[in-house]
């Protein structure tokens, strides 16, 4: 390291000694910052709306482009702070020369970047590492959070990275799940081409009324602006559909909800070419594309449309699996490049059980079709598998990827039809009078909506024990509200379930 750097560091150490170890990080002190080729390359805070007592998850990617191995200190990645705690108050005082990441926020008093995490281990030259942690927030308010990288008692290498406004809503606010039901949505009575028996006009009305009920807006345009308040032309909106059966006649995505979504988006000026409908590892059939009412939207799939690729080298392109100590991580898995390019995600899962496998295949599992290695999730995600356990589910790591969870603005569950296995045909349900369920579900809370859809499936079929484990764990990670209830009777207490008949 050059003499100039050694002189700066020595000067600062002497200042620390002279002042008895108490140095205020004033702009003058921060001016000692030196460039040694260490940098934050990505920052994510999730979720950005939560209730008191829930976790704000922090993910900070650090890359060492210097020629030296970086020392670090406690606390290790994964440490959870309670709001108001500080690294100093918990005994993690600065070690001269160690590197840590820190989080600061608007209106903070006291020591800056009170929430700090070490790198977990020395960071070798050329190495990139994702540092995770969490803060359990309690105070209802909306403030900006950001991240920095500190060389303790030497300099702040970076600051004000990844600024994100985070809202803690009063605890009385429950996540809303809207259930729209109309027997007129389909006229299907068992025909093989079930997709030809869906009434587009009725689905349009269901989506419009569902978005209005979800947002509480006065009109459709205002409702869609509430979902995407900051949309600008050129920002991609990725819609994840489910074509696990590759359009072979078994239960797959329907185009009618997609048409209804795009119809609503266009009311707020969304360009058709900014809408990207995709299943990254399955072909989207001709019938689906031909029935799309908007010719300029883009389709991405495995072979028939624009091919979904997995070429990005960005650190967040790879799922950061975090199994418990001693448990082997799933195989390396990447997400589709289009998700890194998109600004927003709308998740469009099916109402489908997964008997003999995961138990249910809903919003979280729908994103297996966003990855290049869905089998990697089976061992930790399927009850009965050797590695399935109560304290970890790889689906949670998938949704915590900042290009999925943090970008998802809406989950719309397609329950116009239903199935009981991954390759089931379209089926009726006894709980819906031996008819198709003819339902659409709407939520901004991904955990709450999967809970409600899981309850409908469990009322119809024998869902295996542990199938909802990923939802309980996701809630513990601050991704949403977990509650199993009874949509046919007692309802819910933590979730505001609202059914609307048409």
Backbone phi and psi for residue 29, each to the nearest 5 degrees, phi listed first: -70, -40
Residue of 213, 217, 305 lying closest to 268 (CA atoms): 217
CA distance 249 to 257: 18
How long is the chain? Answer: 502
Question: Residue 172's pLDDT band (boundaries 50, 70, 90)?
Answer: low
Cβ pair 419, 426 in contact under 8 A: yes
CATH 2.60.260.20 applies to domain 3-168: no
Given the structure tokens 């050329």, which residue do they identify?
A: 126
The tokens describing 166, both together, are: 């985070």
pLDDT value of position 217: 92
Q: What percent of the chain has pLDDT over 90?
A: 83
Q: Tell me 328's DSSP state.
A: P
* Out of 9-23, 110-124, 295-309, 378-392, least confident range: 9-23
Rg of the Cα trace of the chain?
24
What is the fold of 176-501? Answer: Rossmann fold (3.40.50)
Spatial separation of the C-alpha atoms in residues 383 and 364, rounded to whole Å? 16
The domain limits of the chain are 3-168, 176-501
Segment 93-119 mean pLDDT: 95
Task: Yes or no: say if 447 and 400 are a contact pair by the CB < 8 Å rule.
Answer: no
Q: Return d(Cα 336, Cα 308) in angstroms, integer.
A: 6
Q: How many CB atoms lie within 10 A of CB 220?
A: 18
pLDDT at 49: 84
DSSP per-residue string spanning 264-301: HHHTTT--GGGEEEE-TTSPPPHHHHHT-S-TT-EEEE
CA distance 227 to 147: 26
- Please say whether the beta carbons of 117 and 147 come within 8 A: no
Any residues with CB less than 8 A from the CB of 235 and at least 6 apart, and which?
274, 342, 343, 344
Cβ within 8 Å of residue 331, ≥6 positions away: 373, 375, 376
**Predicted local distance difference test score (pLDDT) of residue 384:** 85
Amino acid 478: pLDDT: 86
Average pLDDT over residues 327-347: 96
Whether omega for the bond prior to residue 180 falls within 30 degrees of 0, making it cis, is no
Which regions of 311-432 does DSSP assign to beta strands (E)? 344-347, 350-354, 359-360, 408-419
Distance between CA 437 and CA 157 in Å, rounded?
Answer: 56
Lowest mean pLDDT among 36-50, 210-224, 276-290, 386-400: 36-50
Say what the pLDDT of residue 171 is.
Answer: 65
């Amino acid at each position: 390291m050059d003499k100039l750097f050694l002189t700066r560091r020595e000067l600062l150490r002497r200042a620390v000694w002279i002042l008895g170890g108490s140095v205020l990080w004033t702009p003058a002190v921060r001016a000692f910052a030196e460039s040694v080729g260490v940098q934050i390359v990505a920052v994510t805070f999730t979720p950005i709306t939560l209730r008191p007592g829930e976790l704000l998850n922090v993910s900070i990617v650090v890359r060492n482009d210097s020629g030296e191995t970086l020392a670090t200190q406690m606390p290790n990645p994964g440490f959870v702070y309670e709001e108001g705690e500080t690294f100093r108050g918990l005994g993690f005082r600065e070690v001269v020369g160690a590197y840590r990441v820190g989080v600061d926020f608007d209106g903070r008093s006291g020591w800056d970047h009170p929430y700090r995490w070490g790198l977990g281990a020395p960071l070798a030259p050329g190495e990139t590492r994702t540092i995770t942690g969490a803060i359990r927030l309690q105070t209802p308010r909306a403030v900006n959070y950001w991240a920095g990288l500190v060389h303790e008692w030497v300099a702040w290498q970076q600051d004000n990275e990844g600024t994100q406004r985070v809202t803690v809503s009063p605890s009385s606010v429950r996540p809303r799940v809207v259930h729209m039901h109309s027997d007129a949505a389909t006229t299907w009575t068992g025909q093989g081409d079930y997709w030809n028996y869906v009434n587009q006009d009725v689905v349009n009305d269901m989506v419009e009324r569902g978005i209005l009920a979800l947002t509480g807006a006065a009109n459709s345009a205002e409702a869609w602006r509430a979902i995407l308040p900051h949309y600008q032309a050129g920002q991609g909106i990725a819609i994840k559909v489910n074509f696990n059966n590759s359009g072979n006649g078994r239960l797959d995505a329907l185009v009618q909800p997609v048409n209804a979504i795009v119809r609503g988006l266009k009311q707020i000026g969304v360009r058709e070419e900014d809408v990207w409908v995709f299943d990254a590892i399955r072909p989207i059939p001709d019938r689906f594309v031909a029935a799309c009412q908007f010719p300029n939207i883009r389709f991405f799939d495995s072979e028939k449309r624009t091919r979904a690729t997995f070429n990005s080298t960005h650190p967040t392109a790879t799922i950061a699996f975090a199994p418990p100590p001693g448990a082997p991580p799933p195989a390396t898995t990447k997400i589709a490049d289009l998700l890194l390019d998109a600004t927003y995600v709308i998740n469009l899962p099916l109402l489908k059980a997964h008997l003999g496998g995961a138990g249910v295949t809903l919003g979280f599992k729908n994103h297996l079709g966003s990855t290049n290695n869905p089998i990697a999730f089976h061992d930790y995600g399927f009850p009965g598998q050797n590695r399935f356990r109560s304290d970890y589910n790889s689906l949670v790591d998938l949704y915590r990827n900042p290009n999925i969870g943090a970008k998802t603005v809406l989950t719309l569950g397609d329950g116009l039809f239903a199935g009981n296995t991954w390759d089931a045909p379209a089926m009726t349900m006894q709980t819906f009078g031996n008819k198709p369920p003819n339902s659409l579900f709407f939520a901004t809370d991904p955990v709450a909506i999967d809970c409600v859809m899981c309850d409908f499936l469990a009322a119809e079929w024998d869902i295996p024990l542990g199938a909802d484990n990923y939802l309980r764990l996701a809630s513990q990670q601050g991704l949403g509200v977990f509650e199993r209830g009874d949509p046919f009777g007692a309802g819910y207490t933590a979730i505001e379930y609202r059914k609307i008949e048409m």
